[in-house]
Amino acid sequence: MIAFEVVLVVALLTPGIAMGAYSVHKIQELEENEDALEARLDEQEKQVFATNKRIDLLHKEVKELAQHFDILKEDLNNLKENSVRLSYAMSYLWDKLEKKFDEEWIENEKEIKEQQQSFNGFAGSDIIIILLIALGLLLIAAAVGVLVFRLVKRTAASTEPNTAQEQQHRGIITT
């Protein structure tokens, strides 16, 4: 009878042990899957963090570009205003020069007919006036050149990266 009881106990315990072993195996698989999912979730969190840092840097760069654009727009407006003033001044000077030239031309034409000489130029005081007007036009042109130079210089300076982080981001410095 003891053998029957042993066989009965073994028969009853074998499926329980098998079910227990199977359950332990399935729990280990689930734990491994959970670990893999946690690792993937951690990796995705790192990617989101890195992406957020890049987005913040892009926001900063966009703000800087907007500031540079505003500066360039202001410079352009100043250049337009100055070009209108310059145009008016040149027109005014040209009108005065033309009137003076016409007056002198008529007077010189009378003298030429009288002296039967070819036109040799203006009188001494007229040459000084013309030279002063030409000098004024040259100074105005130089002022416009300086304005354009400053605009180009400011534009070039605004496109240069300012910090080592920006330089590294743009690929200028490699670490």
Q: pLDDT confidence of 158, banded at 50, 70, 90?
A: low
What is the rounded (10 degree) CA torsion for 39, 42, 47, 53? -160
Q: Is 81 domain-assigned?
A: yes
Q: pLDDT confidence of 118, banded at 50, 70, 90?
A: very low
* pLDDT, greater one: 166 or 30: 30
Write the DSSP symbol of residue 118: -
What is the rounded (10 degree) CA torsion for 121, 127, 133, 135? 110
Q: Is 47 domain-assigned?
A: yes
| The pLDDT of residue 123 | 54
What average pLDDT does the segment 18-41 reach? 86
Count structural domains, the chain: 1
Q: Is 132 domain-assigned?
A: yes
Give the integer Cα–Cα distance in Å for 137 and 56: 50
Q: Is 22 domain-assigned?
A: yes
Q: Which domain holds residue 70?
A: 2-169
Give the integer Cα–Cα distance in Å for 137 and 90: 7
Terminal-residue alpha carbon distance, the chain:
82
What average pLDDT does the segment 159-173 reach? 57
Report the predicted TM-score, pTM, of the whole model to 2 decimal places: 0.36
Give the integer Cα–Cα distance in Å for 85 and 96: 17
Q: Is 114 domain-assigned?
A: yes
Q: Is 174 domain-assigned?
A: no
| The pLDDT of residue 170 | 56
Write the DSSP symbol of residue 116: T
Q: Is the pLDDT of residue 120 over 50?
A: no
Residues contacting 75, CB < 8 A, separation 6+: 150, 151, 154
Write the DSSP symbol of residue 126: H
* pLDDT, greater one: 3 or 112: 3
Q: Is 113 domain-assigned?
A: yes
Q: Is 175 domain-assigned?
A: no
Task: State the CB neighbour count (10 A cutoff) for residue 65.
Answer: 12
Taking every pair of Cα atoms in the chain, the longest distance, rounded to a whole number of angstroms, is: 164
